[in-house]
Copies of this chain bind each other. A is one copy, B any other.
């Protein structure tokens, strides 16, 4: 989500057919369907994923990376739809903290996504047409249950680590509560054990923007010429503001004008920050599905690990064998440090093995995707220590 040279272009273009570009894809739930939180059974269903590096003979060096709201399995690029770099190239690769010379990195497109895993844009096997709103509403727990089937399929008894930022961090926490014996270490970054009222509110704006678009057609737009691209672009724009800090916006753009010396007294993008946001909206709709945006934001809103434990968050982690490392960023106002601290307190209350670092950063929530040396050093240090405890060695 770093800033490209911001440009106005004309209309947004629709997303390319993502399923054609989804990389590895397996069919899951054929014999035993996945029972979702909403009560629906799903299966068989496709799950798309990528891997990087090599699984060792003992199958002990696997790291599952969980992507955020608008991410996908393409941690490294080029992205098959956009041709751009992957979303975590800064973190994953030879010599990077998630070193592909050491670890086997797995990342799957979440349930409800639009890059090959079952979601509203995928074909409903019963009708042969895209699900649209007939796709069942899914939860973070459902996403993780699907990932667990993938890990079973790969024959991995225990993941060395599950890691992710934002919604990825929610999945990490869900892994630690759903399948604590299946993971050695867990790294939730810039995340929370429950979605706050303000965050639900911002998601609701995005959904309302999509559903207000006449081209949304109650979710049944997939076979139409027109797609709800304007609404989806607005949803992306408002979300994008929440990913940056006020200071980052001020430093990056301030009140600078876009390719002009004076304001135009009109409604063009006079200011660079407007032009930047429009660019974010337009480029997003090239690769994302509007209904997927509804489903995935909803899954985040529903996430509350305390609520499913009668309001007692520590109950979610009783007797956990998992080693935790939580990381937050000082200028992140979407998932502020207080949210991570709440999780740390709960882990402390059950005497879990937990470390916690609040990284000084002015980059806002997006810091987990950016070059933040203290963050990268923290992560590398934690992984090295955990690898030693796990008995991982490399020649």
Contacts and interface: CB of A to CB of B under 8 A. Distances in A.
A284 to B, nearest CB: 13
A198 B241 contact: yes
Contacts of A249: 196-198, 201
Contacts of A273: 197, 200-201, 204
Chain A interface mostly helix, strand, loop or mixed?
Answer: helix
A294 B265 CA distance: 12
A250 to B, nearest CB: 5
Given A266-B137, A271-B301, A196 B250 contact: yes
B271 A207 contact: no
Contact of A205 (B133, B238, B252, B253): B238
Contacts of A304: 255
Interface in A245-277: 246, 249-250, 252-255, 263, 265-267, 269-271, 273-274, 277
Interface residues of A, number: 57
B211 A267 contact: yes
A252 B201 CA distance: 13
Given A246-B196, A267-B298, A202 B234 contact: no
A213 interface: yes
A281 interface: yes
Give the number of times this chain occurs in the complex, counting copies.
2
Interface in A309-364: 333, 336
Contact of A302 (B198, B200, B263, B281): B263
A198 B246 contact: yes
Nearest to A294: B267
A256 to B, nearest CB: 9
Contacts of A209: 209, 212, 234
A198 B137 contact: no
5 contacts: A137-B266, A201-B273, A212-B213, A263-B302, A267-B298
